[in-house]
Amino acid sequence: MSTIAARLAVQRVDFRLDVDLQLPGHGVSALFGPSGCGKTTCLRAIAGLERAAGRVEVNGEVWQDDATRTWRPTHRRQLGYVFQEASLFPHLTVRANMEYGLRRLPPERRRVSLGQAVQLLGLSELLARAPLTLSGGERQRVAIARALAASPRLLLMDEPLAALDAARKAEVLPYLERLQRTLDIPVLYVSHSADEVARLAGHLVLLEHGRVLAQGPTSELLARADLPLARGEHAGALIEASVVSHNRADHLLTARFGGGLLRLVSTREHAVGEPVRLRVPARDVSLARSAPEGSSILNVLAVRVTQIVPDEPGQALVTLDCAGTPLLARITRHSCTALALAPGQMLHAQVKGVALAD
C-alpha cells in the first residue's frame, strides 16, 4: 500500500514542530490549522527546504532518514511546489515558464507531458502571453502547470488560493478538482479554509501549536464535535455522493449517497454517475420529529442523534448519523429542550437546496 510518512521535529526560539504524519500515497491530503501552527514549516521540511530532524518517505522512496544519515537534497526529491504567489518569470511567456521546469528532467522520467498540463489547467489560449498580462487566477494556474510539468512524485501546495479574491478562487478550484480526478500524483495541500479542504481533500491533518491534533479521512474529522472544525460559522459535514440527474433548466442537481437523495442548486456541468462532494453547513440543518409537508425545503433525511454538545451561548451542536454518514446541526438550546433531544433518538433533518455547496 502506497503511503507518505513524515516524522519531523524543528526547534526554534519560540516554536517547536513535532509531528508524525501517516498519509495515503494518493489523492489530496490537507494540512489545516490557524496561522502559526506549523503548516508551512512542515511542508518546507518535507521538501528539504528547511532542515528538520526525523524521517521522510514517499511511496517507498526515502528522502530523509537521520538514523541512517540519509539526506536527499531538494533538487533530487522530484517534487513540485506551488506557493501562495505564482512567482512566474516576468520576462518569459507562459509556455517558456512551463518549459523551465523540464530542463533538468530527462525525457524518460517525464510522466506528465506539457500538453497534458496545458489541457488540464485550460491554458491553451494563454501560451504566448506574458505573466504581467494575466489575472491572478490565470497566473496561479500557470504556476500549477509548471510544477506538474516536472512530473513530480509529490505535489506540495502552500495555500495556493490565499492571494486570490473569491471570484478567482472559484475560477481555479474546478481545475484543482480535475487534477485530483485525472492524475495519479499525491498532493499535500496547506490551507486555512475549511471550504477548500472539504472540496478537495480526502485526508485531513489538523495542526495546533506545532503538533498533530487529529488526522484521518476528511469526512470523519469534519463531523467530530470535539475538534475545532466543528466550532464557529464554518462548521459542517461532508457528503460524498454521485450524480443521478442534472436539470439544466432550473440548475437542480440530484445526487445519491448512503442516506438517500440530495437536491441542490448547481450551475456547474455534471454528468450522470459523476462523483460529487457536498458540504452541508451545520447552521443550515434543522431538525423535526415528523417529516414536514408542503415545505419549500427540498431535502428531508432520516437521522439518528448521536451526541449533543453545548456550543456558543444559547446554541448546541447536534451530531447525527444518516445511514452511516455523519451530519451536524447547529440549533438553539431552546429547541433541544422543546424536542427533548437525546442520543439514539430518530428525527428528520431538513436541508435547504440553496444551502448545499458542490
Most confident region among 38-47, 99-108, 242-251 by mean pLDDT: 38-47
Closest CA relative to residue 6, chosen from 34, 27, 29: 29
Out of 163, 197, 222, a domain closes at: 222
Residue 96 lies in a domain: yes
Out of 222, 246, 277, a domain closes at: 222
Q: What's the pTM?
A: 0.89
Give the pLDDT score at 234. Answer: 76
Predicted confidence band at 46 (pLDDT cuts at 50, 70, 90)? Answer: very high
In this predicted structure, the answer to whether residue 355 has a pLDDT above a threshold of 80 is: no
Predicted confidence band at 257 (pLDDT cuts at 50, 70, 90)? Answer: very high
CA atoms of 239 and 258, how far apart (whole Å):
9
**Range in 77-86, 159-168, 199-208, 349-358 with the lowest mean pLDDT:** 349-358
Q: Indicate the DSSP class of residue 99.
A: H
In this predicted structure, the answer to whether residue 243 has a pLDDT above a threshold of 90 is: yes
Cβ atoms < 10 Å from Cβ of 247: 11
In this predicted structure, the answer to whether residue 1 has a pLDDT above a threshold of 70 is: no
Residue 321 lies in a domain: yes
CATH number of the domain residue 170 falls in: 3.40.50.300
In this predicted structure, the answer to whether residue 114 has a pLDDT above a threshold of 80 is: yes
Give the pLDDT score at 195. Answer: 86
The position carrying cell 458540504 is: 279
The position carrying cell 448521536 is: 306
Predicted confidence band at 107 (pLDDT cuts at 50, 70, 90)? Answer: low
Give the pLDDT score at 5. Answer: 96
Query: Amino acid identity, residue 37?
Result: C
Q: Could you tell me how far CA 109 lies from the centroid of its own chain?
A: 28
CA atoms of 280 and 358, how far apart (whole Å):
9
What number of CA atoms fall less than 13 Å from residue 139's CA on the CB side? 20
Burial of residue 281, with CB atoms counted within 10 A of its CB: 0-12 exposed, 13-18 middle, 19 or more buried: buried
Give the pLDDT score at 60. Answer: 92
201 and 293 share a domain?
no
- Could you please report the per-residue DSSP string of 229-288? GGSSTT-EEEEEEEEEEEETTTTEEEEEETTEEEEEE--S---TT-EEEEEEEGGGEEEE
Average pLDDT, the chain: 90
Cβ proximity of 110 and 151 under 8 Å: yes
Instruction: Work out the average pLDDT over 214-238.
Output: 88
Give the pLDDT score at 331. Answer: 93
Residue 321 corresponds to which cell in the numbers above?
Answer: 448519523
Instruction: Work out the average pLDDT over 73-94.
Output: 91
- Mind listing the pLDDT tens digit for each residue in 6-15? 999 999 888 9
> What is the tally of structural domains in the chain?
2
Give the pLDDT score at 352. Answer: 86
CA atoms of 8 and 54, how far apart (whole Å):
5
Give the pLDDT score at 261. Answer: 94
The domain containing residue 150 runs over which residues?
3-222
Residue 332 lies in a domain: yes
Cβ proximity of 207 and 32 under 8 Å: yes
Give the pLDDT score at 112. Answer: 78
Instruction: Work out the average pLDDT over 245-254.
Output: 88
21 and 62 share a domain?
yes
Closest CA relative to residue 111, chosen from 186, 201, 172, 174: 186
Cβ proximity of 146 and 100 under 8 Å: yes
Strand 16-24 versus strand 3-11 pairing type = antiparallel
Residue 357 lies in a domain: no
Predicted confidence band at 150 (pLDDT cuts at 50, 70, 90)? Answer: confident
243 and 191 share a domain?
no
CA atoms of 209 and 217, how far apart (whole Å):
21
C-alpha dihedral sign at 44, 47, 51, 55: positive
211 and 242 share a domain?
no
Ramachandran quadrant class, 335 (left: phi over 0; alpha: psi -120 to 50; beta: rest): alpha
The position carrying cell 481533500 is: 201
Residue 55 lies in a domain: yes
C-alpha dihedral sign at 163, 169, 171, 175: positive
Q: In this predicted model, which residue has the larger pLDDT, 84 or 19?
A: 19
**Range in 1-5, 19-23, 54-58, 71-75 with the lowest mean pLDDT:** 1-5
Closest CA relative to residue 112, chosen from 184, 29, 51, 168: 184
Predicted confidence band at 342 (pLDDT cuts at 50, 70, 90)? Answer: very high
Give the pLDDT score at 207. Answer: 95
179 and 315 share a domain?
no
